[in-house]
Amino acid sequence: MQYYYGSQMPLRVLDECEFWKQQEEEHTVVIRELVKGLESKYMEALEKWERALSETHHRVVRFVETVNRSKGPFNYHLYQDLMSLVSHCLDQSKSFIAFCGMLMEESEPIKTNPTAKVVMNHIIDESEYFIGIAQTILYQK
């Protein structure tokens, strides 16, 4: 972990949120492209996930821009907004992990494709990594 953020350590967690929300968004495309014959209900669900993850990614980018324009330390209200946004990011990632797990259990084209299973497990691992790193940053002493 890099500590050059100093008093702007909240920017560290925002950097992680920005990166990982974009990754999760791209993962929805990877799944759709990789799994031939994916059931239409799952294709549609992945498209909805892509839009939701994209919106969260853009919310994070806008928040970073707001923080940069403020040019000061985090005040109480800004910090509360940060915590709310990060909480949303973490909850969304947990839900995305659950969705990916459900896909692995219910989708026949995924269950019968060893490569898809490996990719799905990797996607889940990456989202779990994001959750772990974000929580570490938030709760370090």
For the stretch 88-135, pLDDT in tens is 999 999 999 999 999 999 999 999 999 999 999 999 999 999 999 998
pLDDT (0 to 100) of residue 8: 56
**Residue with the larger pLDDT of the pair 77 and 57:** 57
Q: How many CB atoms lie within 10 A of CB 21?
A: 25
Give me 62's structure tokens.
């806008």
**What is the per-residue pLDDT across 26-41, written as a single tens digit (0 to 9) for each?**
999 999 999 999 999 9
Give me 92's structure tokens.
């969304």
**Residue with the larger pLDDT of the pair 75 and 116:** 116
- 48: pLDDT confidence band, cut at 50, 70 and 90? very high
- 1: pLDDT confidence band, cut at 50, 70 and 90? very low
- 2: pLDDT confidence band, cut at 50, 70 and 90? very low
Q: How many CB atoms lie within 10 A of CB 4?
A: 7
pLDDT (0 to 100) of residue 87: 95
pTM of the model: 0.91
Q: Where do we find the tokens 């990719």?
A: 119
Are 94 and 131 in contact by the 8 Å Cβ rule? The answer is yes
Angstrom distance (rounded) from CA 138 to CA 31 = 30
End-to-end alpha carbon distance in the chain: 14
**Residue with the larger pLDDT of the pair 12 and 63:** 63
